[in-house]
């Protein structure tokens, strides 16, 4: 498995040994060795089907493929970085929070109900499946991991949502009436409610 | 899957404190009502068996009486909501540091953009200093700042951008650097645009506490325009004409850039 190492909390160090990772375009800050950077294409490297889905859904993701031998350092807007290792399960993530995914992971687009529509980030969300590490970005401070269990359902502001994993059922709380009055530039009036068992990652700043 | 850190749940979250390891998020154990700025809720856990937490605009008919008694800052009503219910409420403010403060039979004036939330036991009033709000009474409030907050005692002169608020002391006055004043008087006031950035300070005298943030990056204030607008109403025709010409020249200067 590839090694994703944090260098401080805002720089990610990835060791390439002839393998590849996909990273947010423009996130490379330095590299040593023999590494090639190539746009992963309009599907983010998931083939034509995903590309068409992305086109259609607006859940755009601009990734580049970095392959070769050497060390690459990644960072974006001095945001905090969190590394998550997937072991055959699926992570749902807001595409603009994606920094680097191991090439052993598959990314796709999944229907996410109305959440995307309400926060203006497309109707769909990105899913990452497989075994391997990935790095996510968190704006405004370190990400917060919140546990969801049958005893403790969780309600999240869609604009603070970063990622979720586990057996979660996602619904919309619409009795929230604070944003449709003024709001931070959006007419969003939803909160996301998670029931089930899993973990939700949020960031302390709203997109 | 390995986790970067153990996820929090209501049993492990602090009752009224910053989320561990995170100055930028605050967990408030809510049981009742809390005034808070719109859009600052990032997540909440409803208390088991409760109906959760509701967020109502101040104009909501069910709470107007309650609000009118405690919130006398008409300029800001549209930016505040009342959170009602019980549970753990997580607040974040655009990545600024968040701290909690307790007032006991006291008064504290704060830059409006820095005030995040306050107990319904406190009373909020618009300060006579534009852009500032005054809290009176007993209770807890949350304030954000760019970097940690420093407490200082008067007499002190502070940079306007670094000022977060003040407690118990009389309102500050402006202080202008003597050399700058000389120059200002000398060129008959035509050089208002020439600033080095440090010639204007706030002067605090008397007894009390002054709160400063450790960065000169002021927390963005979306209310500045509203304050100016509200003051335009006090102007008569000559004043308005003058203002118009000032705005015209500023506009053309900006457009030439």
* Protein fold of A3-202: Double-stranded beta-helix (3.60.160)
Percent of chain B predicted with pLDDT > 90: 21
If DSSP codes are grouped into helix, strand and coil, which group holds residue B139?
strand
In terms of average pLDDT, the best of A115-124, B11-20, B182-191 is: B11-20
Worst-scoring range by mean pLDDT, B7-11, B198-202, B244-248?
B198-202
Q: Looking at domain B16-145, what is its CATH homologous superfamily?
A: Mitochondrial biogenesis AIM24 (3.60.160.10)
What's residue A180's pLDDT?
Answer: 44
Residue B153: pLDDT band with limits 50, 70, 90: confident
pLDDT digits (tens, 9 = 90+) for A128-183: 889 999 999 998 888 999 999 999 999 888 888 899 988 888 877 765 454 444 44
Please tell me the predicted confidence (pLDDT) of residue A125: 75
pLDDT at B185: 62
Test mutation, B45, B47, B67, B77, chain A, max A CBs within 10 A: B45
pLDDT band at B235 (very low <50, low <70, confident <90, very high): confident
Residues B43-70 have a mean pLDDT of: 82
User: Does A84 contact B41 at a Cβ distance shorter than 8 Å?
Assistant: no
Whether B52 contacts chain A with CB within 8 A:
yes
**Phi, psi at residue A4, to the nearest 5°?**
-100, 120
Residue B197 forms contact with A (CB below 8 Å): no
Query: What's the pLDDT score for residue B198?
Result: 63
Q: What pLDDT sits at residue A71? A: 92
SS3 at position A4: strand
**Cβ contact, residue pair B7, A147, below 8 Å:** yes
Name the band, by pLDDT with cuts 50, 70 and 90, for residue B2: very low
Q: Tell me which chain B residues have a C-beta less than 8 angstroms from the C-beta of A166.
A: none
* A119 has a pLDDT exceeding 70: no
Q: What is the DSSP letter of B19?
A: P
* Mean pLDDT in residue range B229-234: 79
Task: Provide the residue ranges of all domains of chain B, joining segments of one domain with +.
Answer: 16-145, 147-222, 225-257
Does residue B238 register a pLDDT over 60? yes
pLDDT over threshold 80, residue B170: no
Asked whether residue A109 carries a pLDDT value surpassing 90, the answer given is no
Q: From the CA of B19, how many Å to the nearest CA of chain A?
A: 8
CB B5 within 8 A of CB A169: no
Mean pLDDT of B125-142: 90
CB contact under 8 A, A155 and B79: no
pLDDT reading at B225 higher than 90: no
What gap in Å lies between CA B80 and CA B38, rounded to an integer? 5
User: Does the pLDDT value for residue B186 go beyond 70?
Assistant: no
Please enumerate residues of A whose Cβ is less than 8 A from a Cβ of B: 82-87, 89, 139-147, 149, 151-157, 159-160, 165, 173, 175-179, 181-184, 191, 199-200, 202-206
Instruction: Using an 8 Å CB-CB cutoff, list chain A residues near B39.
Output: 157, 159, 178-179, 183-184, 206
Among residues B102, B24, B115, B28, which one has the least CA distance to residue B75?
Answer: B115
Average pLDDT of span B42-48:
90
Whole-angstrom distance, CA of residue A95 vs CA of residue A75: 16
Please give the helix or strand (H or E) that residue B172 lies within, else none.
none
The shortest C-alpha distance from B250 to chain A (Å) reads 26
Smallest CA–CA distance, residue A156 to chain B, in Å, is: 4
Q: How far is A42 from chain B (nearest CA, A)?
A: 29
Pairwise pLDDT comparison (A206 vs A9), residue with the higher score: A9
Which range has the top average pLDDT, A44-58, A121-135, B64-78, B142-156? B142-156
Contacts of A200 in chain B (CB under 8 A): 43
Please report the pLDDT score of residue A56 as a whole number: 52
Question: How many Å apart are CA A206 and CA A161, to the nearest integer?
Answer: 8
Count the helices and strands in chain B (H runs, E runs): 4, 16
**Residue in B closest to A5 by C-alpha:** B4
**Minimal Cβ distance to B43: which of A83, A141, A160:** A160
| Residue among A144, A152, A182 minimizing CB distance to B19 | A144
CB A29 within 8 A of CB A78: no
The Cα–Cα gap between A171 and A191 comes to 8
pLDDT at A37: 87
Tell me, yes or no, if B50 comes closer than 8 A to chain A by beta carbon: no
Give me chain A's average pLDDT, please. Answer: 78
Residue numbers in B near A199 (CB within 8 A): 3, 7
Among the listed residues A57, A70, A67, the one whose alpha carbon sits nearest the alpha carbon of residue A111 = A57
A117-135 mean pLDDT: 71
Per-residue model confidence (pLDDT) at position A64: 86
pLDDT of B150 above 90: no
Query: Would you state the torsion angle of the CA atoms of residues B202, B203, B209, B214, taken in this order, to the nearest 10 degrees?
Result: 40
Q: How far is A34 from chain B (nearest CA, A)?
A: 30
Give the one of B25, B42, B57 whose C-beta lies nearest to A177's C-beta.
B57
ipTM score for this prediction: 0.76
Render pLDDT for A48-95 as a digit per residue (tens, 0 to 9): 555 555 555 555 567 888 999 999 999 998 899 989 888 888 888 888
Instruction: Look at residue B130 in the predicted model and tell me its pLDDT.
Output: 81
Token pair 């990622």 is found at A163
Element (H or E) spanning A119, and its range? helix A115-119
Of residues B80, B139, B131, the one with CA closest to residue B107: B139
The HSE-up count of residue B17 (CA atoms within 13 Å, CB side) is: 8
- For B77-105, what is the mean pLDDT? 89
């Amino acid at each position: 498995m590839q090694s994703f190492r944090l260098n401080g909390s805002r720089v990610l160090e990835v060791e390439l040994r002839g393998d590849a990772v996909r990273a947010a375009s423009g996130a490379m800050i330095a590299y040593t060795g023999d590494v090639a950077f190539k746009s992963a294409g309009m599907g983010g490297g998931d083939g034509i089907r995903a590309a068409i889905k992305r086109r259609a859904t607006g859940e755009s993701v601009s990734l580049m493929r970095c392959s070769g031998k050497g060390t690459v350092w990644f960072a974006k807007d001095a945001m905090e970085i969190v590394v998550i290792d997937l072991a055959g399960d699926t992570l749902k993530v807001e595409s603009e929070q994606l920094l680097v995914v191991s090439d052993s992971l598959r990314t796709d687009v999944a229907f996410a109900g109305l959440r995307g529509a309400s926060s203006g980030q497309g109707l769909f969300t990105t899913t990452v499946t497989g075994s391997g590490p990935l790095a996510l970005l968190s704006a405004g401070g370190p990400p917060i991991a919140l546990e969801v269990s049958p005893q403790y359902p969780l309600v999240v502001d869609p604009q603070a949502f970063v990622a979720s994993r586990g057996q979660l059922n996602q619904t919309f709380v619409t009795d929230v009436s604070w944003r449709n009055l003024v709001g931070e530039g959006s007419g969003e009036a939803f909160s996301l409610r998670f029931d089930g068992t899993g973990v939700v990652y949020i960031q302390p700043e709203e997109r | 899957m390995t986790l970067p850190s153990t996820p929090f749940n209501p049993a492990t979250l602090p009752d009224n404190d910053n989320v561990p390891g995170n100055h930028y998020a605050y967990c408030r154990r809510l049981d009742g009502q809390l005034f808070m700025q719109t859009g600052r809720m990032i997540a909440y856990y409803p208390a088991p068996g409760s109906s959760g937490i509701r967020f109502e605009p101040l104009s909501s008919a069910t709470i107007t009486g309650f609000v009118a008694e405690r919130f006398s800052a008409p300029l800001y009503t549209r930016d505040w909501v009342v959170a009602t219910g019980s549970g753990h409420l997580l607040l974040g403010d655009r990545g600024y540091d968040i701290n909690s403060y307790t007032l006991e039979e006291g008064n504290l004036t704060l830059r409006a953009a820095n005030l995040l939330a306050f107990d319904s036991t406190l009373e909020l009033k618009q300060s006579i200093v534009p852009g500032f709000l005054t809290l009176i009474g007993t209770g807890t409030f949350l304030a954000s700042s760019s970097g940690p907050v420093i407490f200082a005692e008067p007499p002190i002169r502070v940079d306007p951008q670094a000022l977060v608020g003040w407690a118990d002391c009389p309102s500050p006055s402006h202080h202008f650097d003597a050399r700058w004043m000389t120059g200002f008087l000398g060129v008959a006031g035509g050089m208002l645009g020439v600033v080095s950035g440090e010639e204007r300070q706030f002067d605090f005298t008397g007894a009390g506490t002054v709160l400063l943030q450790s960065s000169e990056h002021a927390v963005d204030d979306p209310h500045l325009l509203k304050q100016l607008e509200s003051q335009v109403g006090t102007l008569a025709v000559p004043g308005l004409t003058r203002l118009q010409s000032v705005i015209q020249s500023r506009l053309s200067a900006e457009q030439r850039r």
